[in-house]
Each structure stands twice: as structure tokens, then as C-alpha cells.
């Protein structure tokens, strides 16, 4: 309705609104981190639906990770919109291909290859190449790069040379492995991830009936994080569009972090050339982070060499002042990890939900030392986030068992005990989380299912087990993982598009960030800088950047800190502030008139660092939240994230 449409627009600033109201024709939003690109596309979709321009089922929104797709869907649900398809390129392609496989491939959907490295290894052996773990991984990356940039085994060698690829073997040898790899898959009748997109694009390009059907189904397209689209994804997008221009893309060229695997920001930068009648919107106001974080992000990007044709995208902080970013140097990695874990522990004790904290690292090998430290400090953490939640073996097994129990039909209502009983039968012990490692991950997946059941039953007390199982099936289909509680441990790549109140960016040493393989390639070093930009712009309130001089305790070799810190961090000297244990600060239940509350909270905020009389956390009653939401809806988030003060809702 018109009223709903107006309400959707009221959550946007002028520039965002311009983009949201441009519901038809090509639209491009080019803007920095935290400026509300993702928010604008969700509001644009909601506006299109509420004004009757879009049928929700005809909108396809593509994002980069399953988690981001889930985020889009929940934001849309919050705006009163259901039925929109929000998926990754892979998930969207998979769904279409499964449907069209009999027509296009003459049989059922082929299986996905399970162990890609093994197939690459035997292809290498067949070509008499001796590989080790590193060269095998590099071979697999080269094949992936070739496929995402649409290079065939025939053009690979020339293309790799032109692109200055650092190949593990002679380009001709890599091409031969690529060719053998492709034929091995063909023999098995299996597909890899790139094939999913390629075959789907092919189906649309070559089968008019398929194209007609898909294009009749999807009429409006939205792509988030478009700076990282690769030629293969672009080809699929073009196949979906079939010459139409009902497309909205949003991206930030400074967040291009996949160009070494084939992504190309020129699709974003050249959008207006390709669609001369495009509505191009630039956003500058940063709504996510404190001015201190925004300042650091601007400084970092300001030090990058100017790229030709790149619009200057600065960020103007909109949020109230916060804490200065911290820089901390440690003697070794375990000490760095222990300090991060101690700080997490303190924040959680002060009332900050663990899910509002993230620890971001460059390479997955760094994760283990943080897992150990967090486990030792008793801090719950999540490693994978929601990624492929419903494909995890323990979740699949649990869903099967729940389905069986529901079919048994011996429980009229649910409350959650039925779910606990079923999970307990697998050996899951609710009150005994394993300390760490894979066992802990499994435990947490199941705990997330119970939490979800608790939430759903709170919303709908008459929900029964069968209803819960149906709900799980719907979520699985949409890859909509439930929230797994805990501090997020993630790679900087995986953190893209997400945000947390408190972010620790760790391991900032030469050879890790920038990664050693990039040293000889200036373009690759710049991509590493952008990766750091992505990492630091995830923080809403507090940001800590840290590094350690040696990998192991007592290590002699001193590692230089990251070159990107030059100009950002103090030159030298003791930079690690001692962990400040707050004195016993009181807990305060907040009630009252919204304006007055704001004043009190502001005062507290400005004193949070110095005064022991500032509450450790405030508890909002429902009435308070209601009052705030009515008078200053945009500030609700701000209040909930006071630096140095925890906040939670009265139970």
C-alpha cells in the first residue's frame, strides 16, 4: 500500500531515496562501506513491492555469501516483504539447473564434485607433473581463475601470460591439466561450482524455451557487491536479463577483493557506459561506524595510489563520536590471541552479546590460535557463521531425526523439550559444550536449532514439531541459517558486507597482510590494502588492530608489522594498552520519556571511559524501546551500541 511504501522511504536519506524510488530501468549505486548500499536495495525492493510495481516472486537479488542472502531476506521480512528470491549466484543457478537438467542435459541434475583437489591431482599426474600441497592448490586456483574469466584450455596460456598470472607450472602445462580435469569431470558426469554457472548460462543461451521460462519468472534483478562480479557471473546475469535493463547494481570499487580470482570492478565502473540512461547514485554518509573508524578507513584508502577512472569515494561519518581505534603490538601470536580473548571476555561480562564481536584474520591458518585462546577464556565462538548450515552432517542428521519424530506424531504441542529430547538421543548434551574444535562446532549447530525452536515457540506457542520441521525445510531451501551465538571468527574475505559492534583485526604483519605471495605484484598488494579496508569498516563502535613480532613464544625472528599501518598507527613504542578491568559498575533499568533518556545516555557515553558511576549495562524495558522507536527510530541501534556500556532488553 502507499502508506507502507512511504514508511519504507522514511528510513532513507535523500540520495538513498532517489535510488529506492527508481524501481525500473538500470540503477547503479557506487559508494563506500557503510553508506547504506545494502539497506537501499532492500528498501528499493520493498518500495517496488509496496507500490505494486514488483511481484515479489519476480525479483531475484543476488549476493555473495549465503549469510548475506539470509541477511537480505530477514531485512526484507522486516519491511513486510516475503517471496523475493535472495540467493548467491551459485544457489540461484543450482535451483534453476535442477529444474531444467532433464531438458538441457537429458538426465537428472549431475552431482557436484566432492573433492576437487583430488581430481586436480590425478589430472596433474596424468600430465606427469609432480605436485605438492602448495602447487596443487595453485593449480586448482588457476583452473578456477580460467573458468571464472571464461578462458578455455586452448586460450588459457595466452590469457595467463597477458594477465601476468604467477603460474605454478609452465602455462602450457597448466592448460593441459585444466583440459584433463575437464574431461575427468565429464567422464564422471559431475560438475564443479563454476560449471553450475556455466551450464545454467548455456541452458539459457541455447534453449529458447528455458530462457523464456526463466525470463518470465524473473523480471527484476539486483546485485549486491557488484565490484566483485566476475565474467562468468556477468555472463549468467546477462543470460537472465536477455537484453532487458531491469537491473540494479551496487558496489564499492575500494572493496574489490577478489580480482586475483577473476572478479572485475570494471563492470561496476563501466555500468553507466553500458547503460547510458542509468540512474547513478553516489552515497557518502557512513551510517555504520563511529567517525573515528571512518577516519581511519578514509586515511587508509587515501594512501593507495590513485587508480585511473576511479571516482573519489570518501566517507562522511554520521554517528556520534566513539572510542579511538586501538593499535596493539604483542611479542607472539598466542599472546596476541590471549589479549583478544581477554578483551572479548570482559566485553561479554559487561553485557555485550558475543554475537556483536568479530575477530578477523587474513588466512585460515591463523584461526586455530584464536580458537584455542577463546576456548581457554570460556568465550563462545562461531567459526563458520551460517555458511552451509543446513549441509552440515550433524544438522542433516538432526533434521532427519526431527522429521522422524514428527511423523511419529506423539506430541500435540511442541515447547521445545521435544526438540531437546530428539537431539539428546544423538548424544548432544545441552549443558556440556565441548571446549573447542570440531566437536564444539557440531555442538553449536545443534544449540542453534534449539535456540531457533525457542524463538519460534515464543512467537507462536501452538507450533508443533511437524510445524517446526516444515519451517526448517523452508529455511534450508533458502539457505537461511539460524543465528549461532558466539564471537565470530572469520577471514576478512568472509566478513564482507557484514558488521559488528566490536571488531579485532589481527595478525597485521608483513607476509600475512599483505600476504607474501603479493610482494612482487603491486596490484596484488593494493588488493591486500582493500582487504584491510573491508576489515576495518566492519566495526560499528570499537576497532582494534594488532600484530605480533614473532609467531611462537620465544621466537627469535622479528616480523615487521604490516606496511599498511604506516601513517595509521603510532610509529613505535608500547602500543598495547593494559586490559582495563572496569570497577564494579551498576546495572540500570531504563524507563522514561525518550528525549530525557537520550540525554542521560549521551552523558554516560561521554563519561564511559572515566567514571565508575556509569552503568556497566543498561536494561531497556519494552515501554522504553517502544518510546524510542516511536520518537527516534533510527537511533535505536545507536542506543543499543553504546561504547563501554552493555545494553540488553529486559527479559
Which residues in 528-547 contact ligand ATP (CB under 6 A)?
537
Candidates 8, 12, 59, 72; binder of ligand ATP (CB under 6 A) is: 12
Does 368 contact ligand ATP by CB under 6 A? Answer: no
CA–CA separation, 33 and 224 (whole Å): 12
Task: Please say which residue, 32 or 110, places its beta carbon nearer to Mg ion.
Answer: 32
CB of 582 to ligand ATP, least distance (A): 27
Does 30 contact ligand ATP by CB under 6 A? Answer: no
**At a CB cut-off of 8 Å and minimum separation 6, what does 193 contact?**
90, 112
| Size of the chain in residues | 651
CB of 640 to ligand ATP, least distance (A): 11
Residue 58 touches which of Mg ion, ligand ATP, none (Cβ within 5-8 Å per kind) = none
CA–CA separation, 558 and 331 (whole Å): 9
Which residues in 276-305 contact ligand ATP (CB under 6 A)?
287-288
Task: Please say which residue, 38 or 85, places its beta carbon nearer to ligand ATP.
Answer: 38
Collapse the DSSP code of 218 into the 3-class scheme (helix H, G, I; strand E, B; otherwise coil) and give the result. Answer: coil
Which residues in 619-638 contact ligand ATP (CB under 6 A)?
634
Task: Report residue 108: phi and psi, to 5°.
Answer: -70, 170
Which one, of 511, 440, 63, lies nearest residue 248 by Cα? 63
Task: Please say which residue, 26 or 497, places its beta carbon nearer to Mg ion.
Answer: 497
CB of 414 to Mg ion, least distance (A): 36
Tell me: is residue 38 an annotated ligand-binding position: yes
**At a CB cut-off of 8 Å and minimum separation 6, what does 541 contact?**
289, 290, 322, 323, 501, 502, 641, 643
Task: Report residue 538: phi and psi, to 5°.
Answer: -80, -15
Does 36 contact ligand ATP by CB under 6 A? Answer: yes
Angstrom distances, CA of residue 443 to CA of 432, 437, 449, 450: 9, 10, 10, 11
Q: Considering only the stretches 9-17, 455-463, 478-486, 613-621, report the one whose residues sit in contact with ligand ATP under the rule CB under 6 A.
A: 9-17
Q: Which residues of 173-191 are buried (b: 16+ CB within 10 A; e: fewer)?
A: bbbbbbbbbbebbeeeeeb
Does 39 contact ligand ATP by CB under 6 A? Answer: yes
Task: Please say which residue, 228 or 394, places its beta carbon nearer to ligand ATP.
Answer: 228
Which helix (DSSP H) or strand (DSSP E) does residue 111 occupy?
Answer: strand 111-112
CB of 250 to Mg ion, least distance (A): 7
CB of 84 to ligand ATP, least distance (A): 16
CB of 63 to Mg ion, least distance (A): 8
**Are the C-beta atoms of 581 and 346 separated by less than 8 Å?**
yes
Q: Considering only the stretches 35-43, 56-64, 98-106, 323-331, report the one whose residues sit in contact with ligand ATP under the rule CB under 6 A.
A: 35-43
Question: What mask of x and - would describe binding to ligand ATP in positions 310 to 329, judged by CB under 6 A?
Answer: --------------------
Tell me: is residue 404 an annotated ligand-binding position: no
Residue written as grid cell 613480532: 549
Question: What mask of x and - would describe binding to ligand ATP in positions 480 to 519, judged by CB under 6 A?
Answer: -----------------x-x--------------------
Q: Considering only the stretches 12-20, 338-346, 373-381, 581-589, report the one whose residues sit in contact with ligand ATP under the rule CB under 6 A.
A: 12-20
Q: Centre a 10 Å sphere on the Cβ of residue 630 and count the other Cβ atoms it contains.
A: 9
CA–CA separation, 641 and 643 (whole Å): 6
Tell me: is residue 35 an annotated ligand-binding position: yes
Cα-Cα end-to-end distance for the chain: 35
Candidates 16, 200, 488, 542; binder of ligand ATP (CB under 6 A) is: 16
Task: Please say which residue, 289 or 445, places its beta carbon nearer to ligand ATP.
Answer: 289
Candidates 33, 383, 457, 484; binder of ligand ATP (CB under 6 A) is: 33
CA–CA separation, 171 and 291 (whole Å): 48
In sequence order, the β-bridge partners of residue 62 are 87, 223
In sequence order, the β-bridge partners of residue 648 are 619
Does 38 contact ligand ATP by CB under 6 A? Answer: yes
CA–CA separation, 57 and 563 (whole Å): 48
CA–CA separation, 320 and 322 (whole Å): 6
Which residues in 215-254 contact ligand ATP (CB under 6 A)?
252
**Are the C-beta atoms of 286 and 33 separated by less than 8 Å?**
yes
Q: Centre a 10 Å sphere on the Cβ of residue 234 and count the other Cβ atoms it contains.
A: 19
Q: Interface residues with Mg ion (CB under 5 A)?
A: 37-38, 497
Tell me: is residue 272 an annotated ligand-binding position: no
Task: Please say which residue, 414 or 534, places its beta carbon nearer to ligand ATP.
Answer: 534
Tell me: is residue 584 an annotated ligand-binding position: no
**Burial, 37: exposed, middle or buried (Cβ in 10 Å; 0-12, 13-18, 19+)?**
buried
Residue 158 touches which of Mg ion, ligand ATP, none (Cβ within 5-8 Å per kind) = none
Does 131 contact ligand ATP by CB under 6 A? Answer: no
Task: Please say which residue, 37 or 319, places its beta carbon nearer to Mg ion.
Answer: 37
Task: Please say which residue, 190 or 491, places its beta carbon nearer to ligand ATP.
Answer: 491
Tell me: is residue 164 an annotated ligand-binding position: no
**Are the C-beta atoms of 399 and 476 separated by less than 8 Å?**
yes
**At a CB cut-off of 8 Å and minimum separation 6, what does 84 contact?**
45, 49, 56, 57, 59, 61, 73, 76
Candidates 34, 322, 385, 386; binder of ligand ATP (CB under 6 A) is: 34
CB of 528 to ligand ATP, least distance (A): 18
CB of 604 to ligand ATP, least distance (A): 22
- Residue ranges at the known binding site for ATP: 31-38
Residues forming contacts to ligand ATP in the complex (CB under 6 A) are 12-13, 16, 31, 33-39, 252, 255, 287-288, 497, 499, 537, 634
Amino acid at each position: 500500500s502507499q502508506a507502507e511504501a512511504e514508511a519504507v522511504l522514511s528510513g532513507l536519506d535523500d540520495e538513498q531515496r532517489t535510488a529506492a524510488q527508481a524501481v525500473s530501468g538500470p540503477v547503479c549505486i557506487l559508494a563506500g562501506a557503510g553508506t547504506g548500499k545494502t539497506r537501499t536495495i532492500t528498501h528499493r525492493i520493498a518500495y517496488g513491492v509496496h507500490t505494486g510495481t514488483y511481484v515479489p516472486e519476480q525479483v531475484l537479488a543476488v549476493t555473495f555469501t549465503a549469510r548475506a542472502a539470509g541477511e537480505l531476506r530477514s531485512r526484507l521480512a522486516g519491511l513486510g516483504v516475503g517471496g523475493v528470491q535472495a540467493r548467491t549466484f551459485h544457489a540461484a543457478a543450482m535451483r534453476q539447473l535442477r529444474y531444467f537438467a532433464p531438458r538441457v542435459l537429458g538426465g537428472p541434475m549431475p552431482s557436484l564434485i566432492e573433492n576437487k583437489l583430488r581430481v586436480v591431482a590425478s589430472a596433474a599426474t596424468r600430465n606427469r607433473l609432480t605436485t605438492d600441497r602448495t602447487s596443487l592448490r595453485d593449480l586448482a586456483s588457476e583452473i578456477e581463475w580460467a573458468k571464472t574469466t571464461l578462458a578455455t584450455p586452448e586460450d588459457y596460456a595466452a590469457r595467463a601470460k597477458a594477465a601476468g598470472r604467477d603460474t605454478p607450472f609452465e602455462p602450457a602445462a597448466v592448460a593441459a591439466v585444466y583440459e584433463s580435469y575437464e574431461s575427468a569431470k565429464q567422464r564422471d558426469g559431475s560438475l564443479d561450482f563454476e560449471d553450475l554457472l556455466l551450464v545454467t548460462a548455456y541452458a539459457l543461451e541455447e534453449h529458447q524455451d528455458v530462457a523464456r521460462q526463466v525470463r518470465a519468472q524473473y523480471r527484476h534483478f539486483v546485485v549486491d557487491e557488484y565490484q566483485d562480479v566476475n565474467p562468468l557471473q556477468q555472463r549468467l546475469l546477462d543470460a537472465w536479463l536477455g537484453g532487458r535493463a531491469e537491473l540494479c547494481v551496487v558496489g564499492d570499487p575500494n572493496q574489490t577483493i577478489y580480482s586475483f580470482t577473476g572478479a572485475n570492478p570494471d563492470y561496476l565502473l563501466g555500468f553507466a557506459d553500458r547503460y547510458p540512461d542509468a540512474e547513478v547514485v553516489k552515497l557518502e554518509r557512513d551510517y555504520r561506524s563511529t567517525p573515528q573508524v571512518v577516519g581511519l578507513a578514509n586515511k587508509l584508502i587515501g594512501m593507495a595510489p590513485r587508480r585511473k577512472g576511479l571516482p573519489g569515494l570518501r566517507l562522511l561519518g554520521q554517528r556520534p563520536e566513539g572510542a579511538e581505534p586501538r593499535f596493539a603490538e604483542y611479542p607472539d601470536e598466542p599472546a596476541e590471541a590471549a589479549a583478544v580473548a581477554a578483551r572479548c571476555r570482559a566485553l561479554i561480562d559487561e553485557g555485550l552479546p558475543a554475537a556483536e564481536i568479530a575477530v578477523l584474520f587474513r588466512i585460515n591458518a591463523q584461526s586455530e590460535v584464536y580458537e584455542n585462546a577463546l576456548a581457554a577464556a570460556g568465550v563462545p565462538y562461531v567459526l563458520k557463521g551460517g555458511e552451509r548450515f543446513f549441509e552440515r552432517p550433524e544438522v542433516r542428521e538432526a533434521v532427519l531425526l526431527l522429521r522422524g519424530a514428527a511423523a511419529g506424531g506423539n506430541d500435540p504441542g511442541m515447547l521445545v523439550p521435544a526438540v531437546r529430547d530428539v537431539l539428546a538421543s544423538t548424544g548432544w548434551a545441552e549443558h556440556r559444550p565441548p571446549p573447542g574444535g570440531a566437536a564444539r562446532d557440531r555442538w553449536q549447530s545443534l544449540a542453534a536449532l534449539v535456540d531457533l525452536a525457542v524463538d519460534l515457540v515464543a512467537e507462536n506457542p501452538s507450533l508443533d514439531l511437524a510445524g517446526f520441521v516444515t519451517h526448517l525445510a523452508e529455511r534450508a531451501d533458502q539457505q537461511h541459517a539460524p543465528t549461532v551465538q558466539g564471537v565470530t571468527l572469520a577471514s576478512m574475505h568472509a566478513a564482507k558486507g557484514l558488521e559488528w559492534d566490536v571488531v579485532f583485526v589481527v595478525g597485521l604483519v608483513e607476509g600475512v597482510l599483505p600476504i607474501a605471495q603479493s610482494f612482487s605484484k603491486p596490484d596484488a598488494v593494493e588488493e591486500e590494502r582493500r582487504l584491510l579496508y573491508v576489515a576495518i569498516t566492519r566495526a560499528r563502535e570499537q576497532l582494534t588492530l594488532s600484530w605480533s613480532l614473532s609467531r611462537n613464544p620465544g621466537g627469535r625472528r622479528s616480523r615487521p608489522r604490516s606496511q599498511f599501518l604506516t601513517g595509521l598507527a603510532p610509529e613505535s613504542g608500547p602500543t598495547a594498552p593494559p586490559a582495563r578491568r572496569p570497577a564494579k559498575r551498576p546495572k540500570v533499568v531504563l524507563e522514561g520519556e525518550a528525549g530525557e533518556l537520550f540525554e542521560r545516555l549521551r552523558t554516560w557515553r561521554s563519561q564511559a571511559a572515566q567514571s565508575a558511576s556509569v552503568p556497566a549495562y543498561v536494561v531497556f524495558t519494552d515501554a522504553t524501546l517502544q518510546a524510542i522507536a516511536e520518537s527516534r527510530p533510527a537511533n535505536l541501534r545507536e542506543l543499543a551500541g553504546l561504547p563501554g556500556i552493555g545494553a540488553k532488553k529486559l527479559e
